Chains A and B, each alone.
Chain A
Amino acid sequence: MLLGAGCGSEENVTDPRGASPAPHVEVDALSGRANPGWDLPPADAAEIAALIEALPAGTESAPADDPGGLGFRGFVLTDLRLPRHPEHDRVRVGVDVVRIETGGATLALPDDHGSVHAALRAKARTRLPESLYRAIPENRQ
């Protein structure tokens, strides 16, 4: 019988939370009901992170206190690993800008080709009801 094996031993204590939370994308569009969202599979998370990391250097901007009114307001990413921004809280993806929020600061990365938005929109195709998916704007050309 193992008596207290590892009991109190720091090196044997496992993180009760288990693995890190999965990267999550939320479609910020609704008013009454909660926004829909899903956990990004590893390959998708890697793809989105790579797209964000490839964007030009951003500029400090005022936080987007009002991301918009009724209807689609953007994608919100949480728990996405970004090597250049390891401490960020969340990422707000717009059609032509990606905002990385860290504490009270916001870094706005221009996404002139809308690459991140387009990638997330494509992934939303099979995740959302058709009517809600159609409310997500297509990228500007």
Chain B
Amino acid sequence: MIEIELDIFSGRPNPRWHLSAAERNSFLQRALEGAVPMAPASVSEGKLGYRGFLVRATGDSAKVLKGRRLPTFFRVRDGLAASVDPDAEAWLLDSAEPRVDERVEQAAAETIRRPAERGGWAVAGAAACTYWVTSSTNFDFWNADSNHRLNNNCYNYASNWRTNSFAQPGRGTGQQYSYVSVGQIRDAALRDGWRTYCDGGNLYVAFATWLDIDYHWWRRTESVGGVGRWCHKPGSTPARNYDESGYAITDPYTANRGNYTTWGGYMYGPDSSRQTVW
């Protein structure tokens, strides 16, 4: 079973409905193809009005998603976590008819079609935000030379900046993180010039932590077959485009991240490389 919640109200309960069998199959197919932009349910734009759809899958539907290591409870809002398919929200809105008040549906429709404001969440390709991307299949720049491979880590790769120093967040700008936590790594990255919003041409990255042991970064790269891809470089190992299950990464949040289970979030870096990192 799949329940959809239109996250739009502040005081009243949001509208909820269940997808029909045919809708369920169609939605699952889209999700398995990587055409549904999934974000953590707890992450939202935090504003009044339309904030996306919350999806709750149970029973056989949940099994299907879990089988591909996809979440069973997530938010659909294109551009929030990843820009995958702007039509996903429109599809879910269509499934709301005739279950949702027409005026509520219209209010959501207006926001789905309107580009995000500058400085807020933005959709890839819109004038306010574009992504600097490198190849999702050719990693010679990182892997061909063993010296480069051994001495550049995940943060180097995310920054698209090869220093051969095994870069650490904050070190290049005078204050490295003190210990591993989401807050420490994020603050150190902010000091390196990363941002929490997209403005102009940006690198699009994400990070997660492994308890207090370590952190890992991913970077959005070229789309393949019209689907956005992410790549990463685990420490001194080769850069790659697949997760711990061997699947191509369309969103690091939903990918198999191994031990790096504490989600840190998405960040944006001005320009095509973050040259402050060291």
* A residues lining the B interface (CB < 8 Å): 28-35, 65-71, 73, 129, 131-132, 135
Interface residues of B in 171-221 (CB under 8 A from A): 180, 185, 211-217
Contact across chains for B180 and A33 when beta carbons are under 8 A apart? yes
Closest 6 A-B residue pairs measured CB to CB? A70-B258, A32-B215, A31-B216, A31-B235, A30-B214, A31-B234
Minimum Cβ distance to chain A for residue B177 (Å): 10
Q: List 24 A-B contacts (CB under 8 A).
A: A28-B236, A30-B214, A31-B153, A31-B233, A31-B234, A32-B154, A32-B168, A32-B216, A33-B180, A35-B235, A65-B143, A65-B238, A66-B238, A66-B240, A68-B234, A69-B243, A69-B244, A70-B244, A70-B260, A71-B258, A73-B237, A129-B213, A131-B212, A135-B259
Contact across chains for A70 and B215 when beta carbons are under 8 A apart? no
Contact across chains for A70 and B234 when beta carbons are under 8 A apart? yes
Contact across chains for B259 and A32 when beta carbons are under 8 A apart? no
Contact across chains for B216 and A70 when beta carbons are under 8 A apart? yes
- Pick the contact of B166: A34, A71, A73, A131 (CB < 8 A): A34
B24 an interface residue at 8 Å Cβ cutoff?
A: no
Contact across chains for A30 and B235 when beta carbons are under 8 A apart? yes
Counting residue pairs across A and B whose Cβ atoms lie within 8 Å, the total is 67
- B-chain residues with CB within 8 Å of residue A31 when the two chains form the complex: 153-154, 214-216, 233-235, 260
In the bound complex, CA of A6 to CA of B152 (Å): 45
- A-chain residues with CB within 8 Å of residue B217 when the two chains form the complex: 32
B142 an interface residue at 8 Å Cβ cutoff?
A: no
B155 an interface residue at 8 Å Cβ cutoff?
A: yes
Number of interface residues of B (CB under 8 A): 29
Given contacts A31-B154, A32-B155, A32-B168, A131 and B213 within 8 Å (CB-CB): yes
B257 an interface residue at 8 Å Cβ cutoff?
A: yes
User: Chain B residue with minimal CB distance to A65?
Assistant: B238
Minimum Cβ distance to chain B for residue A75 (Å): 14
* B residues lining the A interface (CB < 8 Å): 143, 153-155, 166, 168-169, 180, 185, 211-217, 233-238, 240, 243-244, 257-260
Contact across chains for B240 and A32 when beta carbons are under 8 A apart? no
In the bound complex, CA of A34 to CA of B243 (Å): 21
Contact across chains for A71 and B259 when beta carbons are under 8 A apart? yes
Contact across chains for A132 and B260 when beta carbons are under 8 A apart? no
Given contacts A70-B257, A70-B258, A71-B259, A28 and B235 within 8 Å (CB-CB): yes
- Please indicate which of the listed interface residues A32, A73, A129 has the most CB atoms of chain B within 10 Å of its own CB: A32
- Pick the contact of A33: B215, B238, B244, B258 (CB < 8 A): B215
- Please indicate which of the listed interface residues A33, A66, A68 has the most CB atoms of chain B within 10 Å of its own CB: A33
In the bound complex, CA of A129 to CA of B260 (Å): 16
Minimum Cβ distance to chain B for residue A24 (Å): 15
Contact across chains for B258 and A69 when beta carbons are under 8 A apart? yes
- A-chain residues with CB within 8 Å of residue B258 when the two chains form the complex: 69-71
- A-chain residues with CB within 8 Å of residue B236 when the two chains form the complex: 28, 35
- Pick the contact of A67: B213, B237, B257 (CB < 8 A): B237
Contact across chains for A131 and B211 when beta carbons are under 8 A apart? yes
Given contacts A31-B154, A32-B154, A69 and B211 within 8 Å (CB-CB): no
* Additional pairs, 8, CB under 8 Å, beyond known A31-B154, A69-B258, A132-B213: A30-B235, A31-B233, A32-B154, A33-B213, A65-B238, A69-B234, A70-B234, A70-B259
- Pick the contact of B237: A68, A131, A132, A135 (CB < 8 A): A68
User: Chain A residue with minimal CB distance to B215?
Assistant: A32
- B-chain residues with CB within 8 Å of residue A135 when the two chains form the complex: 213, 259
In the bound complex, CA of A33 to CA of B216 (Å): 9
User: Chain A residue with minimal CB distance to B238?
Assistant: A66
Given contacts A69-B258, A70-B244, A71-B258, A30 and B213 within 8 Å (CB-CB): yes
In the bound complex, CA of A141 to CA of B215 (Å): 32
- A-chain residues with CB within 8 Å of residue B259 when the two chains form the complex: 70-71, 135
In the bound complex, CA of A129 to CA of B180 (Å): 13
